[in-house]
Structure 1
Amino acid sequence: MQSFGEGLDLPGQLCESVFIAKLPFAPPDDPVGEARAEWLRAVGRDPFTELVVPATAMRLAQWAGRAIRTETDQAFVYCYDRRLTRTGYGKRLMQGLPPFTVVRHDAQGREVVAG
């Protein structure tokens, strides 16, 4: 899925829905990312807040943007990862997305428009 997040241009009706199964976190074993994280920890900073969340927000916005390529495009973006709406960093990830209507489902599967 990582390769579809960038460079794919499907305007108009070619892409009207994007399905995101999991938030696009970078692999934890990335040597460059780990070196940066070690440096931040060594100077008393939080690598998750300063590196991981911003990078994930950018990838998530790119993935969501696969469906919106022109000013007239309309699309649905479905994210099945509950961390997007149930964690503090999920709220930060949402802030990185363009404005849109958020629809959630309650325990019985009924739609609840959240904003």
Structure 2
Amino acid sequence: MTWDPKLAMMRTELSRDLGQVKAWCEHKHPGRPRYTLVAVAKFYEAMGVSLEVGVAETEHPFDEDSIIRTAVKGLGVLGYFTSTSGAKWTSPGTIVFAADLSAHESLAAVRYFREMGLSE
């Protein structure tokens, strides 16, 4: 992928948001093997930023579909576009990994998603 300077400048913020989403996923799906939440960030014309999320670096294989669905809902709450069907993207994308959050930051993220109406 080609490097996009706009997204590179935002990488820290994107990583932090993805870390919050990972905290929510871990809360919703306890007991899963360790994994890394990763996304491709892209700018879309007249829309904004989309994070196309996936799971990488798993310790043991598992069904990751439920994690991805939970992550997509969390990203939507944070204002990222989760449906880009028919939209024209204006950047090749930047790979972002979820930031490691402290226990306090993870609890705050879970509380935030609950307050925003995501269900248990």
Which range, TM-score by smaller chain?
A: under 0.3
Higher relative contact order (CA 8 A, sep 6+): 2
More strand by share: 2
TM-score normalised to structure 1 length? 0.26
